[in-house]
Amino acid sequence: MSNKKPNRMTRRTALQAISGLSVIGIGSTQVFAQTDENQGNAKLVLGGLDQIQVQTDTQNGSIDLDTKSEAISREDAEEINREVKSNVSQRYDPGEQFVVGMPEEKEGQILVAYGQRRDQNGVPMTVLAYARENSSPDEIAEAQNFAQKRLNQLVEYDDMRELQAEKMSTSTDVSIQTTDPEISPGDGWISRGSVTLYDQEKPHCRVTGESFAWRLKDDIVDEDSKDLWSVVGTYRGLPGTHLWPDEILPRRLQSMRIAHNWSKGLYDVKSPGISATAPSGNKSGSIDSISVGISYGPDGAGGGLTWNYSQPDTKRTELTDNPDYRDAAAWDYSNNMDASESINQYNVGSRAWMEPVPDCDDSSLEHNLMTTWVGGDAGPDKWEAEAEASLMIDVCL
């Protein structure tokens, strides 16, 4: 990891877009931005390149763009969160809990794009894109392009609950989903935030992930000593043979692994800990679309939470609570030849009892709920592409 201190961020109103089309030129790669005015509050920061050229056609919208030559730091991400939430017109009780994504870089990895949009209820939707310290300008631009397009999609939604049941695109260079997960939360689950992740290692593979966080209403849980949280996500692995077929020795996707690490939270996992996962157990072979869920309460009254699940002809091994994943929900997918050359997508979820987070004490972003992680392996026991983020509870909106 580079030890350089981040440059002071240069404020640009270049992408305040927007009711027109804006183009951000980065080397020979272009990043497109298109939004409509009055779509909500959104901000994006691009970093990690010495020169980022920005051009726009209009400047009358709601996405704000900043650029910097250094990689984006955690301090930058916290400042973006504070700035975006300060523009939310609706105000809430001090104890209101929202979930934002914070970077968790691996060795040699840098954060090159960080964006956030708050819906009309103040619920945050965060996008993080990683690259390598030695990535080419075009590879960094690809990551930034992904983040920009995803944020453009997110600003189309006034309410995050509308997003949960939607697929955004079938374009393999942008989309998080190739099939619609149709996430259906009961009215007892309160939407708390979404976090989108991206990483790739050319010519091996690319991984993306999108996690949705909910907390069950207190009047349904009826527990003073603990809260019930759930995270359901869509996670994808794209092999090099699919992304870069013209490359020399493009790689197949040998395996994928997904983890919801509840033990990395600042507050303790409470008994009975991870009380449900879906899918659960081990399974070899393909599964057509089926309904799975992690409902709570008699017949799931108010606490129903279901979605669609399918898998290619692969081997699924659940690793939840095994020695390497204590208080973590985890799934490993090992591919055969056919699946290793295809796009792999898995819709998985878990729920856990957690120690209650205290009310706002002016320590916003200090309450870590969990981390989510997705990795893609194109060789023996090596995660060439991996993306992780902390899901932080921001109680001081």
pLDDT tens, per residue, the chain with 397 residues: 333 333 333 333 222 222 222 223 333 233 333 333 334 488 999 998 876 544 332 233 467 888 899 999 999 999 998 888 887 766 665 567 889 999 999 999 999 999 999 888 888 999 999 999 999 999 999 999 999 888 888 887 777 777 665 554 433 344 455 566 788 888 889 999 999 999 999 999 999 999 999 999 888 877 778 889 999 999 999 999 989 988 878 789 999 999 999 987 666 788 888 889 999 999 999 999 899 999 887 666 678 899 999 998 999 999 998 988 988 999 999 998 878 888 899 999 999 998 887 766 555 556 788 899 999 998 766 899 999 999 998 866 5
The answer to whether residue 77 is domain-embedded is no
166 assigned to some structural domain: yes
| pLDDT given at position 135 | 92
Specify the pLDDT at position 12.
31
Overall domain count for the chain: 1
Whether 70 maps to a domain, the answer reads: no
Tokens of residue 282, six digits = 């081990």
Instruction: Please tell me the distance from the alpha carbon of residue 214 to that of residue 216, in angstroms, as a whole number.
Output: 7
- Token representation of residue 332: 């490993």
Range of the domain at 267: 94-394
Q: Give the Cα separation of 376 and 205 in Å (integer).
A: 7
pLDDT for 166 equals 57
C-alpha 289: how far from chain center: 23
Greatest CA separation for the chain: 59
Q: Cβ contacts of residue 158 below 8 Å, gap of 6+?
A: 39, 40, 119, 120
State residue 199's pLDDT score.
96
CB distance 64 to 23 below 8 Å: no
Q: Are 100 and 115 in contact (CB under 8 A)?
A: no
Q: Are 278 and 378 in contact (CB under 8 A)?
A: no
| Pairing status of strand 98-103 against strand 385-394 | antiparallel
Q: Is residue 56 part of a domain?
A: no
Contact 228, 217 (CB under 8 A): no
Considering only CA atoms, which of 155, 209, 217 is closest in space to residue 192?
A: 217
Instruction: Please name the residue that has the structure tokens 């975006």.
Output: 84
Residue 193 lies in a domain: yes
Q: Phi/psi at 74 (nearest 5 deg)?
A: -60, -40
Which helix (H) or strand (E) covers residue 63, if one does? strand 63-67
The Cα–Cα gap between 378 and 100 comes to: 30
Residue 13 in any domain: the answer is no
Beta bridge partners of residue 324, listed in sequence order: none
pLDDT at 366: 63
Nearest-angstrom CA–CA distance, 357 and 197: 25
CA gyration radius, the chain:
20
381 belongs to a structural domain: yes
Nearest alpha-carbon partner for 158 in 35, 45, 14: 35
Q: Flag whether 303 is in a domain.
A: yes
DSSP H or E run through 242: helix 240-243
What is the amino acid identity at position 47?
Answer: G
